[in-house]
Chains A and B, each alone.
Chain A
Amino acid sequence: MLHSHVTSTLADSRISRGTPPCRFLSTCDGLPVGLADAETIFALSSGHGRCGVAVVRASGPASATALRCMAGLSRSLPPPRTALLRSITDSQSKEVLDRGLVFWFPAPHSFTGEDSVEFHIHGGPAVITAVLQALGSVPGMRPAEAGEFTRRAFQAGKLDLTEVEGLGDLIHAETEAQRRQALRQMSGELGHLYQDWTHKLKRCLAHVEAFIDFSEDELIEDGVLNQVDRWVCDLQAEMEQHLKDERRGERLRSGVQVVIAGATNAGKSSLLNTLCQRPAAIVSPIAGTTRDIVETALDIGGFPVLLSDTAGLRESQDLVEREGVRRARERVEQADLTLVVVDCAHLPSDAQQAAAFLQEHLRSVLPTQEQPETVFAADRFLLLLNKTDLLPEEQRQKLDRELRRVSGFPPVCLISCHTNEGLQDFLTVLHSSVKTLCGDPLSGAPTLTQARHRAHLQQCFAALAQYQRYRDIDLALAAEGVRLALTSLGRITGRVGAEEILDIIFKDFCIGK
């Protein structure tokens, strides 16, 4: 049973602030802004992981409809900004999903300035998934992109200038998070499938465009469009099958992705074993013992964590080890949080030199994209100085002081996996990092991404039908269908530009008058 959440934490506190309305709509590659403005978006607004109450938010013109049909309010909407306890049902199957609080925030007095609703429901994954899916089936609703609520608030002039400044950073962080998430997904089976579809669609579009732009002057084989017909048909069949059979979808790795990285023999595997309290990884004094990724699922203070141990980073002639290093680097790129482990014994004894050494070391471990001195990098890394038992007490204290003094460093913990010294402090730091990451519904929330993918795939599927509808009537409108399909899929796999299509045209056809 839910407690009385009478005032929503998410209720708008900025209503009275008279900021001028903003004329601008921001844009991101792959984000459905603009065209999507009339659409109603929804998302899980609370973090994932173990929690009592989850908040699902919707914003846009169809919010009222969603509230009416899911909270059984056929006649009137509840009074604005007041909690109401209702049974929440799936509008199609009429199945009761949960019992929870609903809030109605009519425009303009909401966070986004649009009509908004909130559902405060029980925090279990099954309930959240069911409610998100039910929302997705309400006409005009689609899952929100990263940062879209904030962006809409921005568009409605609900943020003042300092907040806009912060929005830039937020969008950066969010696109980064999205990029990591996409990287994770794209390396899996599902990713290959979507990439394959994108590739086929690009080809379809290129061939239709070639037929439109060149067939009158050039020798474009007559069969080009028939070939596209077959590809579109096959794609539709594949997508339909994929959308129908939900179980076939690959289970996305859930939880915060924490990766242990560093040079060889720094004690990475020892750290993994210490954290999971069993010898999950082989530990030896020989450098390069760990070659492949060793994964283990952990519960850190109630939050799901997927911990990976990786091969030590060094140049190697050994083919197997080189592959291990490649995988390690890939994993660091995809990680939500990286624990960079350094052997204390390798530090210069002078504390200042040690700081410079560590800075250099971090640079060699971190992925190249992180190099610009961004503020966010610090949230994504923890620096662990291992084997402190081998360091004289005095030197250790100096080092600790010096590292705290230097700015631009990620949090530093001095530990010894051998004596367990400093471990408790480290766990506290780790716990708070993981907690922060979990509060961000973006980091590895599978239900959300799945709902989003589903929506885009459905749009893509529907757009292909437009191709078929207009194929013999108006090829420009048929091509528009393929373009729309590609744009929808591009929201999962990345945008496709006009130049890319032209490149395929010139590769596949001999164009020249």
Chain B
Amino acid sequence: MLTKKLPPLNSFLSLVSRRASHVTRQQYDVIVVGGGHAGTEAAAAAARVGAKTLLVSQKIQTIGALSCNPSLGGVGKGQLVREVDALDGLCGRAGDWAGIHFSILNRSKGPAVWGPRAQLDRQRYREFIQSELLSTPRLTVLEGSVEELLVSETNPEQPGHHRVTGILLANGSHPVSASSVILTTGTFLSGSLFIGQSTSPGGRIGDAPSSSGLSHTLKERLGLRVGRLRTGTPPRILRDSVDFSLAVVQPPDGHPTPFSFLNTRTHCKPEEQLPCHLTYTTPGVERVVKDSLHLNCHIQEDAKGPRYCPSIESRVLRFPGRRHQVWLEPEGLTSDLLYPQGLSMTMPPDVQLSLIRQIPALHRAKIHTHGYGVQYDFVCPTQLSPALQVKNTQGLFLAGQINGTTGYEEAAAQGLWAGVNAARCALSMPTVSLSRTESYIGVLIDDLVSRGVTEPYRMFTSRAEFRTALRPDNADMRLTLKGFEEVGCVSTLRYQEAVRVRDSLQDAQATLQALSLSSNSWKKQLPDIQISEVKNTVMTGMEVLQYNNVSFEMLASAFPESLSRHMEFSQRLKIEAVYRPHCNLQKKEIERIQKEENLLLPHDMDYLSLPVSMSQEVREILDRVRPSTLGAATRLQGITPAAIVHLLNYVRSAELRERRKHRKQQKEEREEELCAAKASLP
């Protein structure tokens, strides 16, 4: 329930701005570098798991800031938010607190691909995140700049393998030590900002660039492969200068749907919500882009930008002669700024103004902050394990844009999972991974670590092969129970709620299944619907609920004594009934993948000299990617089925050898005991 009162921001700041000297004397389990979506989720998750955690951010005020678009969720991304929430993460509840315009995208396209989305009030979002972090036990927040990542000397027996020992702060003389460090540096790793023909170092306008020491350590000391990506942000426009009469109004949903499983309503009242506006580009926009290309160095660089969130420059260049959509989104309830979604640009400031004025609703518009581009380094994520730990550096975890992704939700999902594992690692618990068969987070991480990225990675529902099972409505059933029982990142309160939901759903489904009538009787009970069974076959309530025009409410009013108590879950039951037959069909395939994912490949396997018949090409791929499971190996390009059999055989014989060794040991121990017993006899 959203009953919580946010503490005033200044009291928060005074509490967290501890003296660096105090902090540096401490020993932490986990240090998180960066306070964006990945960093905040990581810090909160690590603390929830039980680790003593330190979050270091350049500026306390920017913790939880929305650097780009003022919105959360969407198709595919909304699924990620629901899953982060199901694992007790922050962003779902923050979205419910800060949302000022809620809508479910894809409402007409089937519940599996519904996309919960909200426009956010930037200030409220930041406040919620900061207040959550403040009230998280075991978590300390420190304002500071990280000068250097500390790693131990290479073990002579394991060349190229390191261990994280802590960080060095820019002005703190003492190192801060920790067992795990999570880097969530976003676009700050060797970041450069572009506007027109000028460039400057940095990851976000208004913030200092991060130290070069970090990037040096990653590349030179740890030998990590990095690539370069680019992104951009649009100019912010003064709301008063926009002529809304020339744009189409887009109202929010009348009844806002919260992101979080814990919330039944949003902070913003339905009637308080703000609209968005839709407008379009004109041929004038295309002309301005083409005339100013020579003044635009970002667009000429060859770093890869996202195909699906391109700048206005690349949109008109790739698809000329068309009109493109521009969404005018509010930045907050009291903000006087608008965010023009679709107008990310990097041309010189004066050209930016003449470009936006080519759009009818913006013909008098004034720019508050100009758009700019960012180029930054990312670490090729195939060098990470499914726990998001750098394979050659024990205790070093990476999450967010540093792994080549784009988007708040993708960052939050990785942050949470890196936080969980960094904490488990520090507390000497085994790391955990999520399968792509059970979650979008699993799909995201598996895609990253087994395939890598060539452009900024964004989540789409089409990336999930078991999309019909991974729905926004059932994220809690997929993850909350596991999150409490196996992972340890879910609070008791949330767990108890999930158990209640599970029991009620099971009870309701059993009741529906037991409600077994002939189709004639069903026709009598529900005269308005067309039941196509001609013969007098027996149908269960679950089967009848699959019919397109049958709702749970209809069944409940026909059988009030057994069903009306389940009205709370009417929508979930309907969705479950429709999807279950399809999910059952996929079950075998899901089980196969899970079995393969459970077969771990040894980390230090010498693929190049494995004594089996395998082509050099296959050996090189395996050696380069080092898949952590057999499942990941099967999804690699260029890996033959025969190679998979050899790998399996290797794993199985290793298991067998292990078992034999174990049995031999046991036998020896028993014999020793026997001898000892004999010796003790008089």
Contact = CB atoms under 8 A, between A and B. Distances in A.
B589 A29 contact: no
A275 interface: no
Q: Which of B319, B462, B586, B589 has the most CB of A within 10 A?
A: B462
Interface residues of B, number: 68
- Chain B CB count within 10 A is highest, among A168, A169, A215, for A168
Contacts of B468: 476-477, 480
B110 A474 contact: yes
20 contacts: A23-B595, A24-B630, A26-B645, A34-B589, A161-B652, A164-B648, A164-B649, A172-B642, A175-B642, A212-B75, A215-B106, A216-B105, A217-B74, A372-B616, A374-B615, A474-B109, A477-B579, A502-B463, A506-B307, A513-B308
Given A209-B462, A212-B75, A24 B613 contact: no
B342 A175 contact: no
Given A502-B462, A510-B315, A213 B467 contact: no
B469 to A, nearest CB: 11
Interface in B319-346: 319, 322-325, 327, 341-342
B191 interface: no
Nearest to B634: A27
Given A24-B596, A506-B307, 11 more contacts: A28-B641, A34-B592, A168-B646, A172-B613, A209-B461, A217-B75, A218-B325, A219-B323, A219-B324, A375-B613, A512-B310
B75 A165 contact: no
Interface string A498-511: 10011000100011
A412 B423 CA distance: 65
B4 interface: no
Contacts of A209: 460-462
B79 to A, nearest CB: 11
A107 interface: no
A437 B109 CA distance: 52
B668 to A, nearest CB: 23
Contact of A506 (B111, B113, B308): B308
B461 A212 contact: yes
A25 B592 contact: yes
A35 B310 contact: no
Q: Which of A23, A31, A477 has the most CB of B within 10 A?
A: A477
B451 to A, nearest CB: 8
A212 B640 CA distance: 33
Contact of A24 (B319, B322, B652): B652
Given A26-B644, A161-B656, A213-B76, A476 B649 contact: no
A22 B652 contact: yes
A168 B649 contact: yes
Interface string B570-601: 00000000110010011011011101101100
Interface string A469-493: 0100111111010000000000000
Contacts of A28: 641, 644
A33 interface: yes
B324 A172 contact: no
B592 A27 contact: yes
A358 interface: no
B582 A473 contact: no
A167 interface: yes
A216 B341 contact: no
B113 A212 contact: yes
B106 A513 contact: no
A498 B444 CA distance: 13
A473 B548 contact: yes
A506 to B, nearest CB: 5
Contact of B342 (A212, A374, A513): A513
Contacts of B589: 34-35
B309 interface: yes
B623 interface: no
A31 B461 contact: no
Interface in B625-648: 630, 634, 640-646, 648
A165 B656 CA distance: 15
A427 B183 CA distance: 70
Contacts of A29: 641
Interface in A8-58: 22-29, 31, 33-35, 37-38
B477 interface: no
B461 A213 contact: yes
A46 to B, nearest CB: 24
Interface in B95-138: 105-106, 108-113, 115
Given A475-B110, A510-B319, A171 B115 contact: no
B198 interface: no
A170 B67 CA distance: 55
Contacts of B595: 23-25
A34 B466 CA distance: 14
B207 interface: no
A38 B588 contact: yes
Please give me the 7 A-B residue pairs with the lowest Cβ-Cβ distance, nearest first: A474-B110, A28-B641, A476-B110, A34-B592, A172-B642, A476-B112, A372-B615
